[in-house]
């Protein structure tokens, strides 16, 4: 059996995504935040971890990107996606009563902003580490309402007062499976290669130099994000997703080209891509 760490508590969208990967629910261990979940693999408490990395509406999950780029190395070996819908929930004895405090995760709040502004313009938004943590806190009586998933309402005995309240009805979140370095899935013909490029000194044309290496090999990029290294102002690295597998000659050549012009690169893995095929 494979032990999976994931962003908890029970009832998060991450858990729902993980259920798409494994049916062995006894080996799923929730952690309170992304860092703790990733550290469970680093310390050997779990073999694999599932964490969110980007949302089609809100964008990247910064903590996940920073941990993969700067933390003790892990590699991505798989990904999955999950349509995300949100519900407003309250305690059974609070149905019909005033709502002045609503708890949820910041990404959920941003995706339900119009609904909250229209229906509860005076409500205080309380940020939580996950939507399920918001539901759990509501069950403990810490505030009036929570925005979370339907499964969280079921898990914590809450009443849903409004369903599907997101501003964008087609929201999707991408999650990645990470584990200790040493495992690279075999090419499937529909793969993604992820890496981090560290430039030595920020200078004009630095990003163009990196992009040119992929363009020369006719390798398409599906994702690129700059993040601060934390060393000083103006010092950045780039997280890059490219179509193809590191075993593909063109992808390998592009990565080596990037390596030759950067201070350092970190290989984050080649793994089967969900969705569009090459």
196 and 268 in a single domain? The answer is yes
195 and 268 in a single domain? The answer is yes
Range of the domain at 122: 87-162
Mean of the pLDDT values across residues 95-112? 93
253: left (phi over 0), alpha (psi -120 to 50) or beta: alpha
Lowest mean pLDDT among 8-22, 68-82, 261-275: 8-22
Residue 184 lies in a domain: no
118 and 131 in a single domain? The answer is yes
Q: Whole-prediction pTM value? A: 0.85
User: Which residues fall within 8 angstroms of residue 117, CB to CB, at 6 or more apart?
Assistant: none
User: Which residues fall within 8 angstroms of residue 115, CB to CB, at 6 or more apart?
Assistant: 88, 162, 165, 166, 167
Task: Pick 224 or 232 by higher pLDDT.
Answer: 224
213 and 225 in a single domain? The answer is yes
206 and 257 in a single domain? The answer is yes
Instruction: Point out the domain boundary residue: 179, 206, 223.
Output: 179
pLDDT of residue 278: 44
58 and 15 in a single domain? The answer is yes
Residue 26 — very low, low, confident or very high, per pLDDT cuts 50/70/90? Answer: confident
> Which strands make up the sheet holding 191-198, listed edge to edge?
221-228, 236-243, 191-198, 264-272
pLDDT of residue 275: 75
67 and 137 in a single domain? The answer is no
DSSP assigned state of 138: H
Instruction: Flag whether pLDDT at 232 surpasses 70.
Output: no
121 and 24 in a single domain? The answer is no
Residue 92 lies in a domain: yes
Task: Pick 230 or 143 by higher pLDDT.
Answer: 143
CA gap 244, 204 in Å, rounded: 28
157: left (phi over 0), alpha (psi -120 to 50) or beta: left
151 and 253 in a single domain? The answer is no
Question: How high is the mean pLDDT of the chain?
Answer: 91
Residue 231 — very low, low, confident or very high, per pLDDT cuts 50/70/90? Answer: low
Residue 126 lies in a domain: yes
pLDDT of residue 143: 96
CA gap 114, 104 in Å, rounded: 15
Residue 224 lies in a domain: yes
Segment (H or E) for 256: helix 249-261
User: Which residues fall within 8 angstroms of residue 154, CB to CB, at 6 or more apart?
Assistant: 11
CA gap 173, 61 in Å, rounded: 10
Lowest mean pLDDT among 22-26, 96-100, 193-197, 263-267: 22-26
* Cis upstream peptide for 9 (omega within 30°): yes
Segment (H or E) for 89: strand 87-90
Instruction: Flag whether pLDDT at 236 surpasses 60.
Output: yes
Q: What is the pLDDT of residues 149-170, one digit of tens each?
A: 998 999 899 999 999 999 888 8
Phi/psi of residue 12, nearest 5 degrees: -75, 165
Look up the CATH number of the domain holding residue 153.
3.40.190.10
Q: What is the pLDDT of residues 174-216, one digit of tens each?
A: 999 999 999 899 999 999 999 999 987 666 677 899 999 999 9
152 and 91 in a single domain? The answer is yes
Q: What is the pLDDT of residues 40-97, one digit of tens each?
A: 999 999 999 999 999 887 788 889 999 999 999 999 999 999 998 999 999 999 999 9
pLDDT of residue 17: 93
Segment (H or E) for 61: none
CA gap 123, 104 in Å, rounded: 12
118 and 138 in a single domain? The answer is yes
Segment (H or E) for 168: none
Residue 203 lies in a domain: yes
**How many domains is the chain partitioned into structurally?**
3
CA gap 115, 178 in Å, rounded: 35
Q: What is the pLDDT of residues 118-144, one digit of tens each?
A: 999 999 999 998 899 999 999 999 999
Residue 278 lies in a domain: no
Burial group, residue 96, by CB count within 10 angstroms (0-12, 13-18, 19+): exposed
């Amino acid at each position: 059996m494979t032990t999976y760490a994931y962003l908890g508590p029970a009832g998060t969208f991450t858990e729902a995504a993980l259920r798409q990967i494994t049916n062995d629910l006894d080996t799923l261990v929730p952690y309170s935040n992304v860092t703790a979940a990733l550290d469970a693999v680093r310390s050997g408490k779990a073999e694999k971890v599932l964490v969110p990395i980007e949302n089609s509406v809100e964008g990247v999950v910064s903590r996940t990107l920073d941990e993969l780029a700067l933390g003790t190395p892990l590699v991505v070996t798989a990904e999955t996606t999950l349509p995300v819908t949100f519900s407003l929930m309250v305690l059974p004895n609070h149905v019909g009563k005033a709502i002045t405090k609503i708890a949820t995760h910041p990404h959920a709040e941003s995706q339900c902003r119009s609904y909250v502004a229209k229906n509860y313009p005076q409500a205080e938004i309380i940020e939580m580490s996950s939507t399920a943590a918001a539901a759990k806190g509501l069950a403990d009586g810490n505030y009036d309402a929570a925005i979370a998933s339907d499964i969280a309402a079921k898990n914590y005995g809450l009443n849903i007062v409004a369903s599907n309240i997101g501003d964008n009805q087609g929201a999707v979140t991408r999650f990645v499976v990470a584990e200790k370095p040493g495992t690279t899935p075999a090419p499937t013909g529909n793969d993604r290669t992820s890496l981090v490029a560290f430039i030595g000194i920020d200078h004009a044309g630095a990003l163009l130099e990196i992009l040119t290496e992929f363009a020369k090999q006719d390798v398409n990029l599906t994702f690129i994000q700059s993040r601060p290294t934390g060393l000083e102002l103006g010092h950045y690295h780039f997280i890059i997703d490219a179509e193809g597998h590191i075993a593909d000659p063109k992808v390998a050549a592009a990565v080596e080209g990037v390596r030759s012009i950067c201070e350092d690169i970190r290989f984050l893995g080649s793994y089967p891509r969900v969705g569009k095929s090459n």
